[in-house]
Amino acid sequence: MRGAMKAAGAIITIVASGLAGLVVAHSYRAHVRRLAAWVTALSVLETEISFGLTRLGQAMRRAGQVAGQSPGQVLVRAAELLEGGECGSAGACLSKALAEERDSSNWLWNRKWQEDMEAVVVLGEALGMSNSSDQARHIALASRRLEMRRQAAEEAATVNYRLWSAMGFLIGGMVAIALL
């Protein structure tokens, strides 16, 4: 009976540690997906502003609907704030929506949020302050910066996904052996 309890405890320890490792590993891939969604959202926003000549609030809403995930929520919320007149400028609305998203997200996203969203915050300061061609240029610049961050995150995810997946189970195995 005692041996069965130890074996069950060891299995539970290995599985729990392995799952924790998989959660961390998954966060690296989720980070890449979020950045890719932001790049998509900014591409749609650029198209709406430069070719569609759509009003900024409507362009943000459409870009948010296409992108989905985190950027979709941020852009739709920023459009609501802008169209509702709750903020003074488009940049202030975007900053407020980003802050709301950051505060409501999990700790893994918050850790990288500041670095990743720097390009979007800078973009927000330029939105609505000039003509459509200048805004499209600012959006393209922010999109390129986010694409570079996405590529770096993808490289990190390639290495770290395998590392954390294996480390979780290995650490669980070591703890289980130590406890037996």
pLDDT tens, residue by residue, 42-97: 898 888 888 877 787 888 888 888 887 778 888 888 888 888 877 778 778 888 88
Q: Do 117 and 35 contact (CB within 8 A), yes or no?
A: no
Q: Kindly tell me if the per-residue pLDDT of 111 is higher than 70.
A: no
In the chain, where are the structural domains located?
28-153
CB atoms within 10 A of CB 154: 16
pTM: 0.80
Model confidence band, residue 19 (pLDDT cutoffs 50, 70, 90): very high
Task: Report the distance separating Cα 41 and Cα 109, nearest Å.
Answer: 18
